[in-house]
């Protein structure tokens, strides 16, 4: 998820550094936006070193090639302001937009969390209370300050909540808002998902296979069912079947092809997360081979390309691509070759990415040139990002984002 971390000018700005680090560690894409006053307490370099993006210069400088405040506001899944000073709360409540942070707050439709921090007298002032009441009425969540030591050695209420409390509040709001937005968005849709690595028999004892655990495909099936779809999972993995999902167990590419083809006939969406073996022994021995066998290999059927050739109108086809070098460049070419709508690329040479891990990091390429980067996070988080792109396609929308690269070298399948 994309989080804008607003920091205004109070001594608690030093605690915002820890908030930033923890949100990044939780797998979120964090862009810090500092007011001029915040920069007097903590340098921008500190946030730039820890966050996903460098601190944007200000309202007059483009950020990632777009107008900074609208680009940040529209892309954000959540904006959190920590610390939020009395001055920042007043300007936000009044609808002012005289710096990058207040302009971003006005430009976003995402949930906003504010974490006030100030001296007790200011916290208890009716102006602050009224500004907070106005913001609460507009749906802004407030993480209230705590009692304790304040700047200048004073004691009282007004100290910003601890980073752990703020991060827990942010994650709870993100969970609630993404669950709410997604709930039922695939209801009435039929979704077919493949998972796991197929096993191609050499003889009754040995197989050719790969490292796929099936975790990513099972996460996609589970997420699609949670979002209301009727899901068929065709899996070569031994993982338990997700609840509420029709599960078909297969072993080889040929079995997977037959099961997928049958299920895909009336499907709205097919997601091929399986690592289908690209080749198999031309003839499996029906007795155990003794000694070193001389294997003659043949290609397996390309299930995804077959689906693309026979697809029914409006059906959305999604492939995955496991790559180890020039991942996005190669995948861009694979997307065209396979004729799919979306290709989910994982660079499986990166730590925590792809085969067997509980986490993944992907780029989703669209046949419309769209491109979405999903930062390292749980496979469920990646599954929901893929299904967000699928749901946008079903609604007739585009994938989003910038152009993909293209080229023309020879490829594996």
Please report, as ranges, the residues that interact with ligand PMT according to CB under 6 A. Answer: 212-217, 253, 272-276, 278, 300, 302-304, 319-322, 346, 348, 354-356, 413
Nearer to ligand PMT, 118 or 275 (CB): 275
Q: C-beta of 344: minimal distance to ligand PMT in Å?
A: 7
Per DSSP, the three-state class of 336 is: helix
The dihedral built from the CA positions of residue 123, 128, 129 and 132, taken in this order, carries a sign that is negative
Per DSSP, the three-state class of 164 is: helix
DSSP assignment of 165-179 = HHHHHHHHHHHHHHH
Of the candidates 370, 365, 358, which has an alpha carbon nearest to the alpha carbon of residue 335? 365
The residues, any chain, with a CB within 8 Å of residue 282's CB and separated by 6 or more, are: 296, 297, 298
Per DSSP, the three-state class of 59 is: coil
Q: C-beta of 145: minimal distance to ligand PMT in Å?
A: 43
Compute the distance between CA of residue 40 and CA of residue 185 in angstroms, rounded to an integer.
Answer: 45
Scan for tokens 């009435």, then name that residue: 188
Q: How many residues does the chain have?
A: 413
Compute the distance between CA of residue 329 and CA of residue 327 in angstroms, rounded to an integer.
Answer: 6
Of the candidates 87, 279, 89, which has an alpha carbon nearest to the alpha carbon of residue 202? 279
Nearer to ligand PMT, 78 or 303 (CB): 303
Nearer to ligand PMT, 136 or 413 (CB): 413
Q: C-beta of 273: minimal distance to ligand PMT in Å?
A: 5
Q: C-beta of 307: minimal distance to ligand PMT in Å?
A: 8
Nearer to ligand PMT, 155 or 356 (CB): 356
Q: C-beta of 24: minimal distance to ligand PMT in Å?
A: 23
Of the candidates 173, 151, 124, which has an alpha carbon nearest to the alpha carbon of residue 15? 151
Compute the distance between CA of residue 123 and CA of residue 157 in angstroms, rounded to an integer.
Answer: 8
Annotated catalytic, 360? no
Nearer to ligand PMT, 36 or 356 (CB): 356
Return the structure tokens found at 203. Answer: 């003889």
Compute the distance between CA of residue 49 and CA of residue 53 in angstroms, rounded to an integer.
Answer: 9
Return the structure tokens found at 32. Answer: 């810090």
Q: C-beta of 20: minimal distance to ligand PMT in Å?
A: 29
CB 408, CB 386: distance < 8 Å: no
* Catalytic residue chosen out of the listed positions 210, 346, 360, 373: 210
Nearer to ligand PMT, 142 or 272 (CB): 272
Q: C-beta of 407: minimal distance to ligand PMT in Å?
A: 16
- Ranges of beta strands (E only) in 324-398 are 342-347, 359-366, 371-378
Nearer to ligand PMT, 158 or 214 (CB): 214
Tell me which residues are annotated as active site. 210
């Amino acid at each position: 998820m994309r989080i804008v971390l607003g920091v205004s000018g109070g001594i608690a700005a030093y605690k915002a550094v820890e908030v930033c680090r923890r949100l990044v560690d939780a797998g979120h894409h964090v862009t810090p936006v500092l007011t001029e006053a915040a920069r007097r307490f903590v340098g921008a370099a500190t946030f730039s070193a820890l966050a996903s993006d460098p601190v944007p210069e200000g309202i007059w400088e483009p950020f990632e090639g777009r107008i900074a405040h609208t680009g940040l506001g529209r892309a954000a899944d959540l904006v959190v302001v920590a610390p939020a000073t009395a001055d920042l709360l007043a300007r936000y409540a009044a609808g002012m937009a005289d710096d990058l942070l207040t302009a971003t707050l006005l430009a976003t439709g995402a949930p906003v969390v504010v974490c006030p921090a100030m001296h007790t007298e200011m916290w208890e002032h009716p102006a602050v209370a009224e500004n907070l009441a106005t913001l609460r009425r507009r749906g802004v969540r407030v993480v209230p300050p705590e009692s304790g030591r304040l700047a200048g050695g004073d004691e009282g209420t007004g100290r910003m909540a601890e980073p752990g409390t703020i991060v827990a509040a942010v994650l709870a709001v993100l969970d609630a808002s993404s669950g709410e937005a997604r709930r039922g968005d695939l209801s009435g849709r039929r979704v077919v998902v493949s998972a796991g690595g197929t096993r191609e028999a050499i003889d009754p004892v040995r197989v050719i296979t790969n490292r796929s655990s099936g975790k990513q495909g099972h996460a996609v099936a589970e997420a699609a069912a949670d979002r209301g779809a009727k899901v068929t999972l065709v899996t070569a993995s031994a993982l338990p079947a997700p609840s509420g999902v029709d599960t078909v167990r297969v072993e080889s590419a040929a079995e997977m092809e037959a099961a997928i083809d049958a299920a895909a006939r009336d499907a709205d969406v097919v997601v091929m997360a399986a690592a289908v073996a690209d080749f198999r022994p031309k003839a499996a021995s029906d007795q155990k081979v003794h000694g070193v066998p001389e294997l003659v290999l043949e290609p397996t059927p390309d299930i995804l390309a077959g689906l693309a050739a026979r697809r029914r109108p409006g059906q959305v086809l999604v492939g995955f691509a496991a790559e180890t070098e020039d991942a996005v460049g190669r995948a861009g070419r694979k997307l065209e070759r396979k004729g799919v709508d979306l290709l989910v690329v994982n660079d499986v040479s990166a730590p925590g990415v792809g085969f067997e891990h509980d986490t993944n990091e992907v780029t989703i390429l669209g046949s419309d040139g769209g491109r979405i980067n999903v930062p390292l996070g749980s496979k469920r988080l990646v599954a929901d990002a893929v299904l967000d792109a699928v749901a946008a396609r079903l609604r007739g929308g585009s994938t989003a984002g910038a152009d993909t690269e293209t080229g023309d070298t020879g490829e594996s399948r």
